[in-house]
Amino acid sequence: MKHKVLLVTSNEHKLSEFQAMMDETIIELVSLKDIGYFEEIIEDQLTYQDQAVKKSCCIDRFISRDDHYCG
């Protein structure tokens, strides 16, 4: 069974670097562009963890088409 993994980046070079490290028979990397997400997510959080939470919130809102605020 092949698993799709969303790599939350718009950087095509970063995506290709990760794809080179993955076993393509098991994991298919999907980019923001692949899911139709073209908005910029401002990286303004103080920690990697806080930025990851912010990105997750934005992607969740996009996927669920909800109107809740993504700070």
- Give the containing element (helix H, strand E) for 5: strand 3-7
Interval 52-70 mean pLDDT: 80
**pTM of the entire structure?**
0.72
pLDDT, tens digit, 9 for 90 and up, residues 2-45: 899 999 988 889 999 998 998 888 988 989 998 899 999 999 99
Q: Rounded mean pLDDT of 48-60? A: 94
Nearest CA among 25, 5, 7, 4 for reference residue 17: 7
Amino acid at 68: H
- pLDDT at residue 71 in the model: 46
Asked whether the beta carbons of 28 and 5 are under 8 A apart, the reply is: yes
Residue 68 has pLDDT above 60, yes or no: no
